[in-house]
């Protein structure tokens, strides 16, 4: 009856008699009574296994560190030689220990001018050419409107150096909401744009019309903090050792699930059996032979491992096919109180349904073509 006649453990966990009793409510004959073993066409038994290892690890690293100015490292404990040889008492909880390698602390003067350097943006002048290129920008208030409605109409008065824009008509004759003022070019009252007094251009807000503006990087000083030392004038070098303690979790589940989601969901309520892991980390005796190599690799000692907590759980699962019910497959496993059964469609029925669906599609396509 079983595909593994020599596997007494799995067969004993789910014997044929118990399988038939659990499948009695699903039978189509005998009013649900337990039938004989001849009703079982095929049964596949296997062990589900899940293992979680939580390792308490210690990892050591050395890093060359640099800080601006003088760095007070007096609070750090010292270690001599290689960090790997330094003895520490591991803590009970995860954490990190920072140490200082003896004789590695050095204060080095920076080859700058007391933490400053000539500003690279303005070459030390404190100013640079303005983006206006010494050309006053156009007045934004009288764009497309004559800066002055009377300029160049009176030949005897002072004229502008650049031609004014053509006078606008209608609502654009003056700036919205701003009355005209005395023109600074021709002197006519109530004719000039209030934004530029009839000039057509305004003073650059960045350089105030001087063509050069203050360097924003150094605020006009011509010097700035030295990037290498952060403006401190010196650097502190040291070698820092870090010892990190952590819980590292690793999980393993076997075999790879090839059953429907319906079965996977119900397996969450299965009765799993816990196994004690030997002190030397060997595979527990209750793990099936097909899983032992993978579990042994999973439980192998790691270089950074100090201690571990391991849980190993197993659960038998039987896949049963009945002779008088070819359209269903039954998955049987131990539940909290009794055996649980999950019925799914057989591959044979799935193929028939797919074939029937394909026939229906072909018929519909033919009918559509005939109607068209």
Structure tokens at 195: 């934004």
Q: Is the pLDDT of residue 125 over 50?
A: yes
Q: Is the pLDDT of residue 139 over 90?
A: no
Q: Is the pLDDT of residue 272 over 80?
A: yes
- In angstroms and rounded to an integer, the radius of gyration of the C-alpha atoms of the chain is 44
Split at pLDDT 50, 70, 90, the class of 30 is very low
Q: Print burial letters for 141-165: b (CB count within 10 Å at least 16), e (below 16).
A: bbeebbbbbbbeeeeeeeebeeebe
**Higher per-residue pLDDT: 71 or 180:** 71
Q: Is the pLDDT of residue 63 over 90?
A: yes
Residue 342: other Cβ atoms inside 10 A: 18
Q: What is the pLDDT of residue 3?
A: 41
Split at pLDDT 50, 70, 90, the class of 29 is low
Q: Is the pLDDT of residue 33 over 70?
A: no
Q: What is the pLDDT of residue 122?
A: 75
Q: What is the pLDDT of residue 199?
A: 79
Mean pLDDT of the region 181-198: 82
The C-alpha angle with vertex 354 and arms to 348 and 358, in degrees rounded to 5, equals 145
Q: What is the pLDDT of residue 169?
A: 46
Q: What is the pLDDT of residue 162?
A: 47
Structure tokens at 109: 């003067």
**3-class SS letters over 32-83:** HCCCCHHHEEEEEEEEEEEEEEEEEEEEEEEEEEEEECCCCCCCCCEECCCH
- Which regions of the chain does DSSP assign to beta strands (E)? 40-68, 78-79, 95-101, 106-109, 116-118, 127-129, 212-214, 223-225, 234-254, 273-275, 305-322, 325-334, 339-345
Q: What is the pLDDT of residue 323?
A: 83
Q: Are 305 and 57 in contact (CB under 8 A)?
A: yes
Tracing tokens 């820092």 back to the chain, one arrives at 240
Interatomic CA distance for residues 369 and 372, integer angstroms: 5
Q: What is the pLDDT of residue 56?
A: 96
Mean pLDDT of the region 102-110: 92
Q: Are 173 and 149 in contact (CB under 8 A)?
A: yes
Q: Are 225 and 231 in contact (CB under 8 A)?
A: yes
Q: What is the pLDDT of residue 291?
A: 93
Split at pLDDT 50, 70, 90, the class of 209 is low
Q: What is the pLDDT of residue 354?
A: 78
Residue 279 gets the label, from left (phi > 0), alpha (psi -120 to 50) or beta, of: alpha
Summarised one tens digit per residue, pLDDT across range 339-369 is: 999 988 877 766 777 777 877 888 887 888 7
Split at pLDDT 50, 70, 90, the class of 331 is very high
Of the listed ranges 228-242, 286-300, 343-357, the least confidently predicted one is: 343-357
**Higher per-residue pLDDT: 138 or 311:** 311
Q: What is the pLDDT of residue 367?
A: 82
Interatomic CA distance for residues 372 and 367, integer angstroms: 8
Interatomic CA distance for residues 307 and 211, integer angstroms: 73
Task: Determine the distance from the C-alpha atom of residue 128 to the mean position of all C-alpha atoms in its chain, rounded to a whole number.
Answer: 44
Interatomic CA distance for residues 191 and 142, integer angstroms: 12
Interatomic CA distance for residues 342 and 332, integer angstroms: 7
Q: What is the pLDDT of residue 28?
A: 56
Q: Is the pLDDT of residue 233 over 60?
A: yes
Averaged pLDDT score across all residues of the chain: 81
Q: Is the pLDDT of residue 308 over 70?
A: yes
Q: What is the pLDDT of residue 35?
A: 54
Q: Are 192 and 184 in contact (CB under 8 A)?
A: yes
Of the listed ranges 80-89, 175-184, 273-282, the least confidently predicted one is: 175-184
Mean pLDDT of the region 232-241: 93
Split at pLDDT 50, 70, 90, the class of 260 is confident
pTM, 2 dp: 0.62
Q: What is the pLDDT of residue 36?
A: 64
Split at pLDDT 50, 70, 90, the class of 6 is very low
Residue 163 gets the label, from left (phi > 0), alpha (psi -120 to 50) or beta, of: beta
Residue 353 gets the label, from left (phi > 0), alpha (psi -120 to 50) or beta, of: alpha
Of the listed ranges 30-34, 74-78, 230-234, 258-262, the least confidently predicted one is: 30-34
Q: Exposed (0-12), middle (13-18) or buried (19+): which is 281, by Cβ within 10 Å?
A: middle
Interatomic CA distance for residues 284 and 314, integer angstroms: 11
Alpha helices in the chain (DSSP H): 8-13, 16-23, 261-267, 292-298, 347-371
Summarised one tens digit per residue, pLDDT across range 13-27 is: 888 888 888 888 876
Q: What is the pLDDT of residue 2?
A: 38
Structure tokens at 258: 């090839």
């Amino acid at each position: 009856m079983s595909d593994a006649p020599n596997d007494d453990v799995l067969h004993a966990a789910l014997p044929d008699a118990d399988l038939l009793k659990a499948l009695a409510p699903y039978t189509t004959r005998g009013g649900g009574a337990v039938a004989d073993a001849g009703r079982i066409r095929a049964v596949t038994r296997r062990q589900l296994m899940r293992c979680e290892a939580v390792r308490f690890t210690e990892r050591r690293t050395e890093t060359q560190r640099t800080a601006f100015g003088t760095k007070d490292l007096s609070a750090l404990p010292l270690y001599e030689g290689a960090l790997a040889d330094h003895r520490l008492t591991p803590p009970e909880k995860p954490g990190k220990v920072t140490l200082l390698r003896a004789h590695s602390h050095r204060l080095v003067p920076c080859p700058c001018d007391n933490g400053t350097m000539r500003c690279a943006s303005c070459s030390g002048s404190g100013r640079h050419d303005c983006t206006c290129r010494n050309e006053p920008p156009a007045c934004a208030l009288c764009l497309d409107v004559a800066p002055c409605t009377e300029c160049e109409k009176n030949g005897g008065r002072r004229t502008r150096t650049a031609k004014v824009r053509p006078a606008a008509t209608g609502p654009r004759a003056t700036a919205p909401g701003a009355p005209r003022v005395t023109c600074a070019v021709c002197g006519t009252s109530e004719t000039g744009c209030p934004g530029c007094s009839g000039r057509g251009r305004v003073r650059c807000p960045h350089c105030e019309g001087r063509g050069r503006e203050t360097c924003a990087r150094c605020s006009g000083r011509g010097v700035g903090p030295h990037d290498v030392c952060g403006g401190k004038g010196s650097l502190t070098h040291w070698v820092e050792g870090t010892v990190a303690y952590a819980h590292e979790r690793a999980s393993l589940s076997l075999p790879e699930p090839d059953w429907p989601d319906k079965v996977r969901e119900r397996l969450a309520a299965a009765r799993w059996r816990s196994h004690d892991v030997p002190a030397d980390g060997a595979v527990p005796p209750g793990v099936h032979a097909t899983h032992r190599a993978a579990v042994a690799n999973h439980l192998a000692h790691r270089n950074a491992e100090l201690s571990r907590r391991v849980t190993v759980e197993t659960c038998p699962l039987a896949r049963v096919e009945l002779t008088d019910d070819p359209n269903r497959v039954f998955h049987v496993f131990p539940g909290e109180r009794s055996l649980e059964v999950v019925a799914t469609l057989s591959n044979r029925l799935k193929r028939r349904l797919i074939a029937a669906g394909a026939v229906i599609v072909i018929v519909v396509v033919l009918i559509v073509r005939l109607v068209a």
